[in-house]
Amino acid sequence: MRVLVAGGAGFIGSHLCDRIYAEGASILCVDNLLTGLQANIGQLLDRPEFTFRQHDVTQPLEAEVDAIFHLASPASPNPASVKSYLAHPIETALVNSQGTYNLLELARRTGARLVFASTSEVYGDPLEHPQREAYWGNVDPTGMRSCYDESKRFGEALSMAFARRHGVDVRIARIFNTYGPRCDSTDGRVVPNFVSQALSGNPITVFGDGSQTRSLCYVSDLVDGLWRMMMAEEARGEVFNLGNLEEHSVIEYALMIRDLCGSTSEIVHEPLPAGDPTRRRPDISKAARALGWEPKVFLADGLTRTIAWYREQLGRGAAAFSAGVGR
């Protein structure tokens, strides 16, 4: 099987490439390196059956493939982020619209299956908790975050239009907060932010009072869900939440990470960014039922692995650490 991973040099994409290679498939990894890093796929670059192509999927792409994972998009929920979609709003809107169109066209021409990596951001600041796939969301269509959440919603709609008109085999993954090695220390997400600050001895920044909640899924669990979505016949034309059920407040994560890092960093509070969701937890009963999928990595174990990786990066030099390590 020949698999295309768009956004394959990013955080989740690179871990997905590792999994696909382990499954014995050949991989075409495509990334424009706007937020991804070639270092994230360095372990695969000289392997047989792995090809890297630097390309922006907002431009048409020709390839012979059997399966397509569309993970090409800047992604970060934090307006304070250096590399978030807020730093690249037009690129973000285009990759989830024009880029999605180009990859759907490729799927139509080749008969490939396509998994579109959508996001829990399509639920906005949800009025339903936990969030089911049938929930339509509470999204500001013109707010600061709209370049991301509305373009993902459009990508979902376009995917289903291709499924209905052209019979393209599409599957939509709504990805909730994910963490693990290779997540950019500068991209503003909760775990890399807190870990990098704690290991560096800098103040740990919590927005608002920290009572807003998140459910964190370790990257290997998320990748397993994506792979199962691609392989399951029952997933055709379906939407699945992929995330963890364990919900904690942001301040709890800050304290937990500080303790696991053995840090004495002060916790400081800054104003809550506009549109920041107050609660976020998926209902994953559909994925459990149809895919036999559920997270397996406990939070403490996942955080310990993640901290160890960041500590190793820090040991290699502060410049490399602060520069970040992939989407």
Q: In whole angstroms, what is the distance from residue 116 CA to residue 6 CA?
A: 10
Whether the bond into 273 is cis, omega within 30 of 0: no
179 is catalytic: no
> What's the chain's Rg over C-alpha atoms?
19
Q: What is the 3-state secondary structure (H, E, C) of the chain?
A: CEEEEECCCCHHHHHHHHHHHHCCCEEEEEECCCCCCHHHHCCCCCCCCEEEEECCCCCCCCCCCCEEEECCCCCCCCCCCCCCCCCCHHHHHHHCCHHHHHHHHHHHHHCCEEEEEEEHHHHECCCCCCECCCCCCECCCCCCCHHHHHHHHHHHHHHHHHHHHHCCCEEEEEECCEECCCCCCCCCCHHHHHHHHHHHCCCEEEECCCCCEEECEEHHHHHHHHHHHHHCHHHCCCEEEECCCCEEEHHHHHHHHHHHHCCCCCEEEECCCCCCCCCCCECCHHHHHHHCCCCCCCHHHHHHHHHHHHHHHHHCCHHHHHHCCCC
Which among 43, 220, 67, 85 has a CA at the least distance from the CA of 52?
43
> Which of the following is catalytic: 123, 148, 179, 253?
148
292: left (phi over 0), alpha (psi -120 to 50) or beta: left
Residues tagged active-site? 148
